[in-house]
Amino acid sequence: MRALVTGGAGFIGSHLVDALVARGDEVLVLDDLSTGRRDYVNPTAQFRPHDVREPFESRADVVFHLAAQADVGTSMERPSFDAEVNVVGTVNALEAARAAGAHLVFSSTGGAIYGSVEEPAREDSALLPVSAYGLAKRSAEVYLDGWNRIFDTHHVALRFANVYGPRQSAALEGGVVAIFLERLAAGEPTTIFGDGAITRDFVHVDDVVRALLLAAEHDGGVFNVGTGVESTVADLHALCERAVGVDAPPSYGPARAGDALRSVLDTTKASAELGFTATVALAEGIAATAP
Ligand SMILES: NC(=O)c1ccc[n+]([C@@H]2O[C@H](COP(=O)([O-])OP(=O)(O)OC[C@H]3O[C@@H](n4cnc5c(N)ncnc54)[C@H](O)[C@@H]3O)[C@@H](O)[C@H]2O)c1
């Protein structure tokens, strides 16, 4: 299969490219390297520097659209820039797929699109984004759904939980696992914002890649991609300490405005329709990610 991966030099995209190359696919990566790294791109894949805010073409059978401005803080400081990358960039990806007659898989977000939840979010739960990033991803999903209707395509949107694993940047917001592991390994202090009781659904990048590959074979739909397991940030910190082999309790700082208190995804639909269930347990995944 010929695959185009936008954002293929980034954290999740580069793992996806490795998996596609490993199974013998012909892979083209489009990335502007704003947060991605050229050396993360598998040498067997073709690399083309490109900013997805500008239209592009492809001869692919499947387009994985992962390029994004994925930093919530930046989205609030520069919402129009965020919209250009995340909304216009997605329209350009949909148009590239349309011109090539390709299937498209879009990387949306669970954490930022549902907002804080009272119970595991289902795909039909209320969408109440509290950031420009979440709004842009929601808007991009509206385009994807609309393009499916207007052009009779069957593109798929995946709403990822909090993804972690090797190559995640500790410099980017949201990379709490990478931040804890890097700082603990360097003997530097760590801080938890709030009382440590806020929860997230942490899903390993290998599981996310499997979901992306399944979505490439699937006709239409929106699917949560997480574990369905709710972990507190305090528990996560303890797992990171154990993985690094240190006893270094965090300090606690004031809660951050805009941080959802609870975020966890119901993955029943992905399991039933996509055949996807996360398999990497958090302790195991953290141990494999530790430097
Ligand atoms: N990491 C998570 O927990 C998470 C959760 C939900 C959704 N997502 C989504 O998954 C996708 C991948 O995220 P990631 O965590 O790997 O982040 P990342 O920042 O590592 O990857 C994004 C990639 O897109 C590239 N990029 C950014 N702007 C671009 C532009 N204008 N043109 C071309 N390339 C551009 C970057 O250089 C980078 O390589 C994104 O769409 C993100 O919104 C990630």
- For residue 63, the enclosing domain spans 2-161+203-225
How do the pLDDT tens digits run along the chain, 291 residues long? 999 999 999 999 999 999 999 999 999 999 999 999 999 999 999 999 999 999 999 899 999 999 999 999 999 999 999 999 999 999 999 999 999 999 999 999 999 999 999 999 999 999 999 899 999 999 999 999 999 999 999 999 999 999 999 999 988 777 999 999 999 999 999 999 999 999 999 999 999 999 999 999 999 999 999 999 999 999 999 999 999 999 999 999 998 877 889 999 999 999 999 999 999 999 999 999 998
Q: Are residues 214 and 156 in the same domain?
A: yes
Clarify whether residues 65 and 174 are in a common domain. no
Cα of 245 from ligand 1 centre, angstroms: 30
Domain check: are 49 and 71 in the same one? yes
Please check whether residues 82 and 213 belong to one and the same domain: yes
Is residue 134 located within the same domain as residue 48? yes
Q: What is the pLDDT of residues 78-107, one digit of tens each?
A: 999 999 999 999 999 999 999 999 999 999
| Distance from C-alpha of 200 to C-alpha of 10, rounded to nearest angstrom | 22
What distance in angstroms lies between residue 248's CA and the mean position of ligand 1's atoms? 31
49 and 157 share a domain? Answer: yes
Residue 133 a catalytic site member: yes
Task: Please report the beta strands in the chain, taking only residues with DSSP state E, as ranges in sequence order.
Answer: 2-6, 26-31, 46-49, 62-65, 103-109, 156-160, 162-164, 191-193, 199-200, 202-204, 221-225, 231-232, 251-253
Residues 212 and 259 in one domain: no
CATH number, domain containing residue 106: 3.40.50.720
Q: 148 CB under 6 A from ligand 1?
A: no
Centroid of ligand 1 to alpha carbon of 28 (angstroms): 16
Q: Give pTM, 2 decimals.
A: 0.98
Answer whether 212 contacts ligand 1 (Cβ < 6 A). no
The Cα–Cα gap between 185 and 144 comes to 41
Same-domain check for residues 103 and 178? no
Distance CA 136, CA 69 (A): 10
Task: Identify whether residues 69 and 100 lie together within a single domain.
Answer: yes
CA of 148 to the centre of ligand 1 (A): 23
Q: What is the CATH number of the domain that holds 248?
A: 3.90.25.10
Ligand 1 proximity of 52 Cβ (cutoff 6 Å): yes
Q: Provide the domain count of the chain.
A: 2
- Ligand 1 neighbour 244 (Cβ under 6 A): no
- Do 81 and 207 fall within a single domain? yes
* Residues 7 and 40 placed together within one structural domain of the fold: yes
Of 192, 225, 258, which residue constitutes the final position of a domain?
Answer: 225
Any atom of ligand 1 within 6 Å of the Cβ of 268: no
